[in-house]
């Protein structure tokens, strides 16, 4: 069952969000893919070398967006090896990419903020797989609220 498609954000959006000088051009970043037919997670590639200093955070602009059917969500997690070896985690524990995020003002640019809780620096090389995304269906409760149109990008939904 195909419920989503990955694509790139525009070069202009990527340039706004990407702060690293050695970053891959957005149109050369490989789209997320599964390593094997049985893999649930789609691996995201680090588009530039990132040095995660001990106790520090780093924001990675992936250059990627995901369009998915309503009723689905993309959850992001660090790759298992980074967690097991170094304790690397996402700053928000798990990234939640909503189905309407692809149409936000930032083109749905997926940004990943990692934290290094270890006592040593961790290097993510350009082209290295660093996080994985898993698509899951979700249900909703009975609601009477009128919903606003999404306008902002990363972290924009806030409290109502």
User: Residue 133 has what pLDDT?
Assistant: 98
Q: What is the mean pLDDT of residues 10-38?
A: 97
Alpha helices in 2-131 (DSSP H): 11-17, 80-86
Q: Are 71 and 99 in contact (CB under 8 A)?
A: yes
pTM of the model: 0.90
Query: Hey, what are 75's tokens?
Result: 């959850």
Average pLDDT of every residue of the chain: 93
**77/36 Cα distance (integer angstroms):** 18
| 123-40-28-23 Cα dihedral, nearest 10 degrees | -20
**Residue 151 pLDDT exceeds 80:** no
**160/109 Cα distance (integer angstroms):** 23
Q: Kindly state the percentage of the chain with pLDDT values over 90.
A: 86
Find, among 87, 82, 96, the residue nearest to 128 by Cα: 82
Please state the φ and ψ torsions of residue 119, each to the nearest 5 degrees: -100, 15
List of residues 6+ apart from 66 with CB closer than 8 A? 4, 5, 6, 7, 74, 97, 101, 102, 108, 110, 133
**Residue 44 pLDDT exceeds 50:** yes
Query: Domain 4-137, CATH 2.70.40.10 — does that match?
Result: yes
List of residues 6+ apart from 106 with CB closer than 8 A? 9, 13, 16, 17, 152, 153, 154
Query: Hey, what are 126's tokens?
Result: 């350009």
User: 3-state DSSP call for residue 35?
Assistant: coil
Distance of CA 76 to the CA centre of its chain: 6
């Amino acid at each position: 069952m195909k419920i989503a498609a990955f694509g790139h954000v525009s070069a202009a959006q990527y340039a706004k969000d990407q702060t690293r000088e050695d970053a891959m051009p957005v149109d050369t970043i490989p789209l997320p893919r599964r390593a094997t037919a049985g893999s649930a997670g789609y691996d995201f590639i680090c588009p530039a070398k990132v040095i995660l200093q001990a106790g520090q955070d780093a924001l990675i602009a992936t250059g990627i967006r995901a369009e998915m059917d309503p009723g689905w969500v993309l959850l992001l997690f660090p790759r298992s090896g980074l967690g097991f070896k170094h304790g690397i985690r996402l700053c928000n524990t798990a990234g939640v990419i909503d189905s309407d995020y692809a149409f936000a003002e930032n083109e749905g640019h997926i940004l990943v903020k990692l934290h290094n809780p270890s006592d040593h620096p961790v290097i993510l090389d350009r082209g290295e797989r660093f996080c994985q995304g898993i698509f899951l269906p979700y249900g909703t409760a009975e609601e009477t609220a009128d919903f606003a149109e999404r306008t902002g990008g990363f972290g924009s939904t806030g409290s109502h």
